[in-house]
Amino acid sequence: MTFATTLIVSGETFEMAYRFGQVAERELAGIADAAGQAACIERLWNGIGELGWMGTAIPEEAGGAGGDLADLAAIASGAGRAGLALPVASSCGVVPALLAGNPVLPDVATGAARVAVILPGAAQDEDTGGLRIRLLNDGLTLDGVVVGVETPPNPTHALVAAEGAEPMLLLIPASSPGVQTELYQRIDGRLAADWHFSLVTVDSGWIVARGPEVPERTAAARDLGALLTCIECVSAMGALIEQTIQYLLNREQFGAPLATYQALRHRVADMYVEYENLRGITARALRAAQSGEPSWQAIAFAKLRLGEAGRAVAESAIQCHGGMGMTEELPAIRLCKRLMMAEFEFGNRVFQAARLLAADGRTSTAAAD
């Protein structure tokens, strides 16, 4: 009997997302050229739009399915297990949450509005303290460059948390004068973009929120993104371990399956322990988020763990595969790349560690269950 890891989320929605993800993964892996892959990602985006993924947690009156975090978790888990190359956490979770009540929401639900989120602290080649709003000739202007922002294909909007005298959350049409994007594909197949804002005149219609509520809302949205990313990666890691086990059972060297060598058996056992722990800490964060008292600390700990465990497990899986681990041929190695990239989404280890250290009473919260 082949070994199957315990899933973090199961059920019909999970199964549906997983099936979609698997077909998508195979299709994308079969395409060698960049243009063909871009076209494929576009089709996949339309596919999840038709399936209503982006509308999962959007209220029915705004064109969504009116679901909750459990539904989002099921989608993230299914997509993650297949290593689906779409920005699930961002497009299904973070964007609808930040745009709650906004008139664009029905278009978000269908996938017609393709929104890339630029949170505070987005990476910059030259640290200018983020995207800043300034008063210039009586009008507000936005200026700055951010890089490596995960994005749906052909983004129609940037949802920008801008810094300045008064922080603002702006929904900026990508076609606005002074806005430029450069799109590319990451090693986990997902799209990312650099966004250039050159003295963009802020239209008052773009303002989604302003003032002190902006940092609060963006922090909560980042946590949702981090939580969904952890769920995705638990699933990806489970699938990776299963595939590594299969590989070691099937490949023979020195007249015996690699699975008979204790060094590799122990390594996989270590990977499995990492997996179970990540699953545990992520389930804990999910449970906390679903309770009346959401805990950012629980999410920070889960994401911190993901940074360590994700890299360790991905590296171990590559090692177990030998030379094959260095190729792009196997789905297992594509899952490794997904795990490696997740570290750089919604706050890396240092980000999570720093905020845990800075917070008062963190130990008591961490211990409470």
Partner 1 sequence: MDAAIDYQAFRAEIRDFALAHCPPDIRAVVASYRKLSRKVWYPWQRILFEHGWGAPSWPKEFGGTGWDPRQRVIFDEVMAECDCPPQYHHGLRHLGPVIIEFGTPEQQKRFLPGILNGEDWWCQGYSEPGAGSDLASLRTTARREDDHYMVDGQKTWTSHAHESDWMYTLVRTSKEPKKQQGISLLLIPLNLPGITIRPIRTIDGWHHVNEVFLDGVRVPAANRIGEEGQGWTYGKFLLERERLGGANIAPHRKALERVRELVATELAGEGRRAERELLQHRLLLAESELLAASELGRESVEAVMQGNALGMLPSVIKLGTSVTMQTISQIALDAVGERLAPRFRRVDGAGPNAEEPGIEWVQNYMYARVRTIYGGSSEVQKNVIAKQLFGI
Ligand X SMILES: Cc1cc2nc3c(=O)[nH]c(=O)nc-3n(C[C@H](O)[C@H](O)[C@H](O)COP(=O)(O)OP(=O)(O)OC[C@H]3O[C@@H](n4cnc5c(N)ncnc54)[C@H](O)[C@@H]3O)c2cc1C
Which residue among 187, 199, 273, 368 contacts partner 1 (CB under 8 A)?
A: 187
For residue 329, state whether it binds ligand X (rule: CB under 6 A). Answer: no
Q: Scanning residues 243 to 282, which ones bind partner 1 (CB under 8 A)? A: 252-255, 261, 263-264
Q: Which residues contact 147 (CB under 8 A, 6 or more apart)?
A: 122, 123, 124, 125, 194, 195
CB of 315 to ligand X, least distance (A): 11
For residue 322, state whether it binds ligand X (rule: CB under 6 A). Answer: yes
Going by their DSSP bridges, the two strands 252-253 and 179-185 should be labelled as unpaired
Q: Closest CB to ligand X among 266 and 287?
A: 266
- Measured CA to CA, the distance from residue 157 to residue 115 in angstroms comes to 5
User: Exposure string (b/e) for 37-74, b if CB count within 10 Å is 16 or more?
Assistant: bbebbeebbeebbeebbbbbbbbeebbbbebebebbbb
What number of chain residues touch ligand X (CB under 6 A)? 12
Q: Scanning residues 275 to 294, which ones bind partner 1 (CB under 8 A)? A: none
Q: Closest CB to partner 1 among 52 and 189?
A: 189
Site string for ligand X, 243-272 (x = CB under 6 A): --------x-xx---x--x-xx--------
CB of 272 to ligand X, least distance (A): 17
For residue 363, state whether it binds partner 1 (rule: CB under 8 A). Answer: no
Q: Closest CB to partner 1 among 74 and 341?
A: 341
- Measured CA to CA, the distance from residue 348 to residue 237 in angstroms comes to 18
What number of chain residues touch partner 1 (CB under 8 A)? 47
Q: Scanning residues 290 to 349, which ones bind partner 1 (CB under 8 A)? A: 311, 315, 318-319, 322-323, 325-329, 333, 336-337, 340-341, 343-344, 348-349
Q: Scanning residues 98 to 127, which ones bind partner 1 (CB under 8 A)? A: 123-125, 127
Residue 7, sorted as left (phi over 0), alpha (psi -120 to 50) or beta, turns out to be beta
- Looking at the DSSP bridge assignments, the partners of residue 143 are 132
- Measured CA to CA, the distance from residue 133 to residue 141 in angstroms comes to 5
Q: Amino acid letter at 274?
A: E
